Amino acid sequence: MRKYFVISGFAAAILAAGLAARAGTEGTTASASAGGVRRFTLDQAIRTALQRNPTLLIAEQEIKRTKGVIIEIRAQALPHVTAAADWQWTDPNLNSAQIVSSTTTTPGITPPGGAAASLIGSPLSQVRDATPLALAAPSPTPGITNAELSDISYTISVTGTQLIFNGTTWPSIRGTFFQRDGAYFSFRNILDQLIAIVKTQFYLVVVNRELIKVQEQSVHLLESQLKDQQNRFEAGTVPRFNVL
């Protein structure tokens, strides 16, 4: 986590350096237009290099890529919750299966006024040893009333999964941390080399500019010596060889 904040700090520093380089360039341009002389300092050179050097920008994007790989590999070990829903509607005109209310009787019980009535009203000779039984009227069995099939059906399911152990995910997670560290140190190496190169080139330009001034002064000195020898030759004090 500490390295993550350090990497984020470096990225923010590079972004700030780029913005400062743009502001410095604008300020330098304004001063050049006002004073007629453009000044380019070492800080502006370093900021411009941090903003525009392609190798450093690639290294910065590599750090971001390794962070994305870490997030992708970690996602395999996190709990996953999946929700699914299914809804279906059937046209009522196509649904022909309907249950209507009905009334049924219990089997084995004869309704009143049927065979029981004829048995009770039969002569004694037909029911010699039978004792007349008073049969009560059976109560009707309640049926299903106003039952219809619904034309809408739906299902909802929620599934949760969690990786407990596997031989590849945890080593891959550790490997991604090493990749992130490698990208970070590669970025630091490129950054240090870039700053060192910019400083070297900047001071080399300064030295060459001063050497040019020295050579210009040497030319002026030789011109003054030539003029002196010409004056001496015209006065006749020195031969022509001194002028040559």
Residue 94 and residue 146 in one domain: yes
Residue 82 and residue 193 in one domain: no
Residue 8 and residue 59 in one domain: yes
Q: Above 80 in pLDDT, residue 123?
A: no
Q: What digits encode the pLDDT tens for the residues 177-191?
A: 888 899 999 999 999
Q: What digits encode the pLDDT tens for the residues 50-97?
A: 999 999 999 999 999 998 888 888 888 888 899 999 998 887 777 654
Q: What digits encode the pLDDT tens for the residues 194-224?
A: 999 999 999 999 999 999 999 999 999 999 9
- The letter for the amino acid at 80 is H
pLDDT band at 175 (very low <50, low <70, confident <90, very high): confident
Residue 110 and residue 131 in one domain: yes
Residue 6 and residue 60 in one domain: yes
> Where a domain ends, among 162, 196, 225?
162
Threshold 0.75, pTM exceeds: no
Dihedral, CA of residue 187, residue 190, residue 195 and residue 197, to nearest 10: -170
> Where a domain ends, among 135, 162, 189?
162
Q: Is the dihedral of CA 7, 13, 15, 21 positive or negative?
A: negative
Half-sphere CA count of 180, side-chain side, radius 13 A:
22
What is the distance between the alpha carbons of residues 22 and 48, in angstroms, rounded to a whole number?
8
Residue 132 and residue 167 in one domain: no
Specify whether the CB–CB gap between 127 and 119 falls below 8 A.
Answer: yes
Residue 223 and residue 147 in one domain: no
What is the distance between the alpha carbons of residues 221 and 101, in angstroms, rounded to a whole number?
128
Specify whether the CB–CB gap between 138 and 107 falls below 8 A.
Answer: no
Task: Determine the structural domain holding residue 106 and report its residue range.
Answer: 78-162
Residue 67 and residue 82 in one domain: no
Helix, strand, or coil (residue 149): coil
Residue 153 and residue 86 in one domain: yes
